[in-house]
Amino acid sequence: MGMIGGGKDAFIGAIHRIAANMDGQIELVCGALSVNPAVAEESGRMLFLDESRIYTNYEDMIKTEAQLPADKRMDFVTIVTPNFAHFAPAMLALENGFNVVVEKPVTFTLEEAQQLKAKVEETGLMLLLTHTYAGYPMVKEAKQLVKSGALGKVRKIYVEYIQGWLSRLSEREGNAQASWRTDPSKSGKSGCMGDIGTHAAHLAEYISGKKITQLNASLNIVVDGRMLDDDGAVLLRFEDGVTGTLTASQVAAGEENALKIRVYGENGSLEWRQEEPNTLNLKWLDKPAQVLRAGSGYTDRLSTYATHNARTPGGHPEGYLEAFGNLYRNFALALSAKIEGVEPQQEWLDFPGIDDGIRGMAFINNVVASNQSNEKWTDYTI
């Protein structure tokens, strides 16, 4: 693995490295870790990279690595730069034969995402989009449970992603995370909805298997002086008559990272909360509620997707980093299978890719369009 962005002090780069390290299948071998050459070099050394593979810009890295013999060069590139700087390195990597891992949102604009998709299809290379929450075992279980029909026909989806960390104008107080995420030139046309609303929308579609078809959005800038939405709510219509709501906020003072989804079918419902991720609550119309637990002993009751994505027995809580690690692990397993020419397990292929990226960008566009419209409902277009 080679990394672009994610130098010392970057939040998400460190997370990616832990996730990639976790299972001992992936090694960080090179990096262009910062646009600041000094930071890039210092960061590379702190990470024990070979001096010759500490790069100061990503073009050098991709081109130089491409010259190395196949068994020496990196197998894939991970891109953890701010949103506006995803597209160019991803394209260059693909053009030079490297598989790609990229943070969400996949690009800065939908058009870029579509170009990237074309390139992925053209090259036949693999792309992982790190929608972390899809890596949790009980999210996998939820998806399989809906798919199995146990809940009956799906009727309602409520998803919410509530944070409080932007309750103040932190972007003016030297908070680097806040600065770029609230800056339209770096983050894109939406703040809160782009940053976390997309996770919520992805989770809703991923678990329910239903696509959003229309939306009715209202976004807010709650904190004076902010340049992008920091809060919003969306009424949703999905395929097959399913309706729902999506709520996202970064000004909900006191909340941490409260992503929660509920899906209601004719016979029962499921509820999953990211802050207590090893539990999947099921409630039924005609029988007592059930509590499914990741890693539990009654493994025959859990789907193979849930068991494949857990490392420890029930009661040994796994968390955000393990979910993130699952994305990398499945990507690495699928990549190895491809390299070795063997058939992958279906569980390995269950990671977000370029199509999820396209929908994420479309979600941002459509939410922003709906917010600007006086019409109640806006069609979800790509």
- Scan residues 271-290 and list those touching its own copies (CB under 8 A): 274-278, 282-290
Of residues 84 and 272, the one with the C-beta less far from its own copies: 272
CB of 138 closer than 8 Å to CB of 274: no
Applying CB under 8 A, among 185, 304, 373, 381 the residue interacting with its own copies is: 373
Write out the binding residues for its own copies, residues 26-55 only, by CB under 8 A. 28, 47-48
Instruction: Give the shortest CB-63-to-its own copies separation in angstroms.
Output: 26
**For 304-312, which contacts have Cβ atoms below 8 Å and span 24 or more sequence positions?**
304/347, 305/137, 305/140, 305/141, 305/143, 305/144, 305/347, 305/350, 306/137, 306/138, 306/140, 306/141, 306/144, 307/137, 308/140, 308/345, 308/347, 309/135, 309/136, 309/137, 309/140, 309/347, 310/137, 311/23
Torsional class of 224: left (φ above 0), alpha (ψ -120 to 50), beta (otherwise): beta
Question: Which of 235-258 are b and which e, b meaning 16 or more Cβ less than 10 Å from the residue's Cβ?
Answer: bbbbeeebebbbbbbbbbeebeeb
User: Which region among 7-15, 113-121, 180-188, 340-348 touches its own copies (by CB under 8 A)?
Assistant: 7-15
Of residues 95 and 152, the one with the C-beta less far from its own copies: 152
Q: According to the binding rule CB under 8 A, does residue 218 interact with its own copies?
A: yes
CB of 161 closer than 8 Å to CB of 352: no
Write out the binding residues for its own copies, residues 238-277 only, by CB under 8 A. 243, 245, 247, 249, 251-258, 262, 264-269, 274-277
Helix, strand, or coil (residue 288): coil
Instruction: Give the shortest CB-287-to-its own copies separation in angstroms.
Output: 5
Tell me the CA distances in angstroms from 328 to 11, 101, 229, 335, 345, one per residue in order: 17, 9, 31, 10, 15
Q: According to the binding rule CB under 8 A, does residue 158 interact with its own copies?
A: yes
User: Which region among 73-81, 117-125, 228-236, 336-344 touches its own copies (by CB under 8 A)?
Assistant: 228-236
Binding-site size, its own copies (CB under 8 A):
88
Other C-beta atoms lying within 10 Å of the C-beta of residue 22: 17
Q: According to the binding rule CB under 8 A, does residue 180 interact with its own copies?
A: no
Applying CB under 8 A, among 297, 339, 379, 381 the residue interacting with its own copies is: 297
Of residues 288 and 341, the one with the C-beta less far from its own copies: 288
Write out the binding residues for its own copies, residues 314-343 only, by CB under 8 A. 314-322
Applying CB under 8 A, among 231, 347, 350, 356 the residue interacting with its own copies is: 231
Instruction: Give the shortest CB-258-to-its own copies separation in angstroms.
Output: 7
Per the document, the length of the chain is 382
Pattern 8-27, its own copies, x by CB under 8 A: ---x--xx-xx--xxxx---
Instruction: Give the shortest CB-59-to-its own copies separation in angstroms.
Output: 26
